[in-house]
Amino acid sequence: MCGVAAMVSVSKKTTDARMEVVTLEQSLFKTVISGSSTGGPNAPETTWAVFFYKPYCGACRRVRPIFHALATTTNHTKQLRFGEIDCVKWRPLCNHAGAKSQPVIKIYSAKETGAFPRREVASWQGVLIAYEVLGWFVGLQSRGAIDADVVFASDEVLAEAMRKFKESGDHRVDRTAKKTANPRAYLDAVDRAWRMGLHDAVFQRDDALGGERLVAMAEWLDALGYALPAKPWRDLADKLRTRLVDKQTWSPERWAKLLKSYGVAEPSFDRLACGYPCSLWQLFHALLANSDRHAAPHVLKAIQAWVVNFFGCSECAEHFGRAWAELRGDSVDNAFAANLWLWRVHNAVSKRLIREGDATKISPWPTNDTCTTCFKSYHERLEAEARAAKRKKKGKPDDVIPPPEPLGGALGGIGAPEDDYDEGYVFQFLAETYCFNSDTFVCAAFDDPSRARKHRLPILNNGNHDGEI
C-alpha cells in the first residue's frame, strides 16, 4: 500500500463493521481537513484519527497493529474514521502536519464549530503498548473529543484483529528475546504450576481455609482468571473463585472435592525439565506479562499473598516476604515496575541459592545467550564502534575500542552485575518471552503469530494435564 491510506469501518446497518482502504496520497488535507469526498462518510461530524509512520521504524511497527485493529473493529464510521500516512514517501506532508518524528496519532475534528476545516484536537506519542493506545482513545471519548456513540471493541476482539494483521508479517520488529528451540515450552510449566498451587500446601499451615487465607486465595484465583495466557484456563479459575467465595470456610475434603469436580488434578513434574519452584517463577512472570498498567500491581500483590500463605517452603516464603518489604513491592503502580520488581527478586533468589551452595547451574537472567540487547555494555560498544566509523570516514585517528568483555559480566558464575542491565530491554524481553501464543489483548502487542508457526497450537482445557498441552 503506497501513499496515504484511510482504513474505514463501514457499517452494515449500524454496527457490523468491515474494512475499506481508500488511497488519498497528497489529498490528505482536502479529505481530512477540508472534507472532500472519499467514497465514505466525511461530514463535519466525522472525526479522523490519522497515524503518521515510517515503514522501517520499529516503534511504528509496534503501534500499527493496534491502530489497524481499532480501524477494523470500531463501529459508527460516520463519527470516527481512521487513516495512515507513510512519512517516508510523504515527508513534506508529515512535516507540515507537525509529525516530524514518528509514530504519532493525531485527531482531527470539526465538532466545536460544526463546519470545515477540521482542526487537530489531540496528538498521541506515548508508550508503545496496545492498551496504552486504546486507553488514549477511550480517554479522548470521555473528554468529548470522540463521539459518545462510538463503541470500541472488546479486548478479546481487538486481540484477534491484531493477530490477523500481524499474520501478514509486514509489521515485523526486531525481537529482544533470542530464538529458542521451543518458545511454547513455558506454557506447560505455567499450566502445571497454577494447578499444583491449588493442591500443594493449601492446608499445610492450617487445617481449614478461611479468614485472611481465604481472601488471599480468592485474590489469587482472581489474578489467574484475569492474566493466565489461555482463555480456557482463565475461565476455569473464574469458576473456582465463584465457588470459593460462596463459603466462609473450606475443609481439605471439601476443597479436594471442588477441584475434582472441575477436573483440576494434581499435576506431575516428572517429565518436565523445570520443576515446581521453577515453574512457579514461569507462572508469576507470565501473569505479569499478561497484565496491563492498572491490573499489574494487583496481580503482583496477589502473587505475594499466595507465596506468603500457600507456598510449601516456609523459609522461601519468609524470604519473599522480606523482599516485598525491603524492595517496597506495595509501592509498585504500573506494569513496567511490576515486571521488573519480580525480575529483580527472581535474580536475587538465584544469587542467594548460588551463595548458599543450593544451585550450581542457576545464573541471573537473561544472559547474553538469551538477550544480547538487554545489556548496557552491548549498546555502549555499538555506540563506540559507530563513533569510530564516523571518525574514520572523516580521516581522523581511530578511537581506541577496548576488546569486548563477556556481556553481562561473568555469565558462567554469578551472572550479570545488576547495573549492566538495560531495564527497558529487559521488560521487552519478558513480554516477548511470556506472551508467546497467549490469547490476551495485553500480549497481542508483543506476540507475533507470523513467527514460530509450528509451535502455535490452540490451548485446550481437557482435564488431562500430565501430558503435553
* Biggest CA-to-CA distance, the chain: 81
Same domain membership, residue 158 and residue 64: yes
What's the Cα-to-Cα distance from 345 to each of 85, 281, 284, 326, 469, rounded to whole Å?
Answer: 43, 10, 11, 11, 29
- What is the value of pTM for the model shown? 0.83
The answer to whether residue 395 sits within a structural domain is no
Q: Which residues contact 59 (CB under 8 A, 6 or more apart)?
A: 102, 103, 128
Split at pLDDT 50, 70, 90, the class of 215 is: very high
Same domain membership, residue 107 and residue 249: no
Split at pLDDT 50, 70, 90, the class of 9 is: very low
The answer to whether residue 469 sits within a structural domain is no
Same domain membership, residue 219 and residue 98: no
Domain that holds residue 76: 4-166
Average pLDDT score, the chain:
83
Predicted local confidence at residue 2, as pLDDT = 35
Position with higher pLDDT, 409 vs 166: 166
Same domain membership, residue 150 and residue 49: yes
Same domain membership, residue 129 and residue 252: no
Predicted local confidence at residue 178, as pLDDT = 66
Residue 105: what residue type?
A: I
The answer to whether residue 376 sits within a structural domain is no
91-100, 205-214, 361-370, 455-464 — which is least confidently predicted? 455-464
Predicted local confidence at residue 282, as pLDDT = 96
Predicted local confidence at residue 245, as pLDDT = 97
Predicted local confidence at residue 7, as pLDDT = 43
Highest mean pLDDT among 5-9, 42-46, 410-414: 42-46
Q: What is the CATH number of the domain that holds 190?
A: 1.20.120.310
Residues 105-118, mean pLDDT to the nearest whole number: 91
Per the DSSP assignment, residues forming a β-bridge with 45 are none
Give CA–CA dist 17/8, Å, rounded.
9
102, 133, 166: which is the final residue of a domain?
Answer: 166
Give percent of the chain above pLDDT 70.
77
The answer to whether residue 82 sits within a structural domain is yes
Same domain membership, residue 252 and residue 144: no
Q: What is the CATH number of the domain that holds 129?
A: 3.40.30.10
Same domain membership, residue 191 and residue 160: no
Using one digit for the tens of pLDDT, what is the confidence trace for 425-461? Answer: 999 999 999 999 999 999 999 998 877 677 777 665 5
138, 166, 194: which is the final residue of a domain?
Answer: 166
> In a 3-state reduction of DSSP, which class is residue 263?
coil
Split at pLDDT 50, 70, 90, the class of 469 is: very low
Same domain membership, residue 305 and residue 423: yes
Q: Above 80 in pLDDT, residue 20? A: no
Give CA–CA dist 66/104, Å, rounded.
13
Using one digit for the tens of pLDDT, what is the confidence trace for 38-71? Answer: 667 888 999 999 999 888 888 898 999 999 999 9
Same domain membership, residue 252 and residue 352: yes
Same domain membership, residue 287 and residue 233: yes
Same domain membership, residue 199 and residue 347: yes
Other Cβ atoms less than 10 A from the Cβ of 292: the count is: 22
Q: Above 50 in pLDDT, residue 465? A: no
Count of domains observed in the chain: 2
Q: Which residues contact 363 (CB under 8 A, 6 or more apart)?
A: 350, 354, 411, 412, 413, 414, 415
40-54, 126-140, 257-271, 387-401 — which is least confidently predicted? 387-401
135, 166, 197: which is the final residue of a domain?
Answer: 166
Q: Above 60 in pLDDT, residue 360? A: no
Please report which residue ranges of 74-127 form alpha helices under DSSP H. 91-96
Predicted local confidence at residue 406, as pLDDT = 41
Q: Above 70 in pLDDT, residue 151? A: yes
Give the distance, in angstroms, between the CA of residue 133 and the centroid of all CA atoms in the same chain.
13
Please give the span between the terminal C-alpha atoms of the chain, in angstroms, as a whole number: 39
The answer to whether residue 386 sits within a structural domain is no
The answer to whether residue 399 sits within a structural domain is no
Predicted local confidence at residue 182, as pLDDT = 82
Q: Above 80 in pLDDT, residue 192? A: yes
Same domain membership, residue 191 and residue 122: no
Q: Above 80 in pLDDT, residue 404? A: no
Give CA–CA dist 445/242, Å, rounded.
30
Predicted local confidence at residue 274, as pLDDT = 83
